[in-house]
């Protein structure tokens, strides 16, 4: 029971080499694994499962291929929190709650997008609560695709402007929030993304693997029975 993990691809139609790299991963790497975990922010924005753009179609069909090779699990990030059940069934994947405990080769692993641990950023947490509320999501999905695309565009610009003025430590995880989540889930390994700070950290509560964002290179974590074999790999796009 081996597992492959990725997150924070931030795919959109402006960066074809990243889409190509994702497709190569699905066709060449995913078949060697039993399960494939995508821990959020796979796309730069997801405006709803009814998105009929060429990019959304291509993205769905890549995931469909992945689900023929391995069991595919997706967590919502802060860009793709509108992935819904019709997206999941069209792609043959399962959407997991954030966080979730999963079993890989007898090991209990806590998986999360990671943003819920950034508790020092109060403004962000307030926004997160709003975007994840069913009432807000229903209202958003009731609007036309064009309206949703315009809203998403405005949000990205605002987030860029706000984050430029934020101290970087505020945007990282809070150590206490991580320790508490691991204690509660009774695990000694946590895998998450979101912060774009790829690393394997070791602390009293156990190991925390942070996946990287696909910016200058792609990142993936390969995991099987032996914790010493966990491999966080950076790979080129060509
Ligand atoms: Mn994120």
Task: Note the pLDDT of residue 164.
Answer: 79
How remote is the CA of residue 200 from the centroid of ligand 1, in Å?
18
* 165 pLDDT more than 80: no
SS3 content of the chain, % helix, strand, coil (to 5): 40, 25, 35
Mean pLDDT of 124-138: 95
Task: Note the pLDDT of residue 160.
Answer: 82
Task: Note the pLDDT of residue 187.
Answer: 98
Q: Can you tell me which residue has the tokens 């315009």? A: 150
Task: Note the pLDDT of residue 191.
Answer: 98
How remote is the CA of residue 229 from the centroid of ligand 1, in Å?
26
Phi-psi region of 186 (alpha: psi -120 to 50; beta: other; left: phi over 0): left
* 169 pLDDT more than 90: no
How remote is the CA of residue 81 from the centroid of ligand 1, in Å?
10
CA nearest neighbour of 63 among 41, 44, 42: 42
How remote is the CA of residue 194 from the centroid of ligand 1, in Å?
4
Contact 45, 70 (CB under 8 A): no
DSSP label of 165: T
How remote is the CA of residue 9 from the centroid of ligand 1, in Å?
10
Task: Note the pLDDT of residue 99.
Answer: 98
Q: Can you tell me which residue has the tokens 């998986």? A: 111
Confidence label for 30 from pLDDT (cuts 50, 70 and 90): very high
How remote is the CA of residue 79 from the centroid of ligand 1, in Å?
7
How remote is the CA of residue 53 from the centroid of ligand 1, in Å?
23
How remote is the CA of residue 80 from the centroid of ligand 1, in Å?
9
How does pLDDT run across 65-115, given as a tens digit for each residue?
999 999 999 999 999 999 999 999 999 999 999 999 999 999 999 999 999
Mean pLDDT of 166-192: 93
How remote is the CA of residue 131 from the centroid of ligand 1, in Å?
13
Contact 114, 193 (CB under 8 A): yes
Contact 32, 2 (CB under 8 A): yes
How remote is the CA of residue 22 from the centroid of ligand 1, in Å?
18
How remote is the CA of residue 124 from the centroid of ligand 1, in Å?
11
Contact 84, 47 (CB under 8 A): no
Domains, the chain, ordered by start: 3-235 (3.60.21.10)
How remote is the CA of residue 236 from the centroid of ligand 1, in Å?
22
What is the model's pTM? 0.96
* 125 pLDDT more than 80: yes
Confidence label for 163 from pLDDT (cuts 50, 70 and 90): confident
How remote is the CA of residue 7 from the centroid of ligand 1, in Å?
9
* 43 pLDDT more than 90: yes
Q: Can you tell me which residue has the tokens 């060429």? A: 54
| Torsion sign (Cα): 187, 178, 73, 230 | negative
């Amino acid at each position: 029971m081996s597992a492959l993990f990725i997150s924070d691809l931030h795919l959109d139609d402006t960066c074809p080499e990243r889409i190509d790299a994702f497709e190569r991963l699905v066709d060449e790497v995913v078949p060697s694994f039993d399960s494939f975990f995508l821990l959020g922010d796979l796309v730069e924005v997801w405006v709803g499962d009814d998105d009929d753009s060429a990019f959304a179609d291509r993205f769905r069909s890549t995931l469909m291929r992945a689900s023929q090779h391995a069991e595919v699990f997706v967590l919502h990030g802060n860009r793709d929190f509108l992935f819904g059940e019709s997206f999941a069934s069209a792609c043959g994947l399962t959407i997991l709650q954030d966080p979730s405990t999963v079993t890989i080769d007898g090991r209990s692993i806590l998986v999360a997008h990671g943003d819920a641990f950034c508790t020092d950023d109060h403004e962000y947490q307030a926004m997160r609560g709003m975007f994840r509320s069913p009432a807000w999501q229903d209202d958003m999905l009731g609007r036309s695709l064009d309206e949703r695309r315009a809203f998403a565009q405005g949000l990205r610009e605002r987030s860029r402007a706000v984050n430029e003025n934020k101290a970087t430590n505020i945007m990282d995880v809070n150590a206490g929030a991580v320790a508490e989540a691991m204690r509660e889930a009774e695990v000694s390994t946590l895998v998450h993304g979101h912060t774009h700070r790829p690393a394997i950290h070791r602390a009293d509560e156990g190991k925390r693997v942070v996946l990287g964002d696909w910016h200058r290179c792609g990142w993936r974590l390969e995991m099987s029975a032996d914790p010493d074999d966990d491999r966080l790999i950076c790979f080129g796009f060509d």
